[in-house]
Amino acid sequence: MKFLIDTDLTTEGTKISVDGKNVADERKVASVSFFADAPNKKYQEDGYISLSVTSFDDEGNMKRESFSKRAEEAQNIVPMGLQDEIKFDKDDVIRFIGDSIDTEKKTLVDSIIEHCSTNKIACPDSEILLNRSTDSLRDKANDLGIASADA
């Protein structure tokens, strides 16, 4: 198998391909974890590389796949922040990896940032705001007194 991770370090600008196929074309990607450890003479290890992908299908079923040259070790990999005892649902994810930002959300974020800048109000940067739900952004706009026609 050949894996390709292409990223500009943003959620929407990150894509993962397996054997030339974009994983996001088939399912919603929630997490990609990559680990690489070089060979080490001190411990006589030959190095280790692993890749884990957590995704959801259209019905909301979670799928966690782990890949490594050492298949027996890959079975026990759990991406950081996820534990098997924790229930992780499709609805918990605000925006999936590789998904573009919807226009309404971008408009709300731009309006909030412009309002805060104009009125010299402290405001998180756009990436932090984009990770909030649309309802949360609407509430923030209302709290700032931004009319829905302006946002």
Name the pTM for this structure.
0.65
- At 115 the pLDDT is 92
Phi/psi at 50 (nearest 5 deg)? -140, 155
| Mean pLDDT computed over every residue of the chain | 82
Which of 97, 5, 109 lies closest to 49, judged by CA? 5
Higher pLDDT, 74 or 138: 138
- At 133 the pLDDT is 82
Least confident of 12-21, 84-93, 111-120, 134-143: 84-93
- At 150 the pLDDT is 56
CA distance 138 to 151: 9
Average pLDDT over residues 27-47: 83
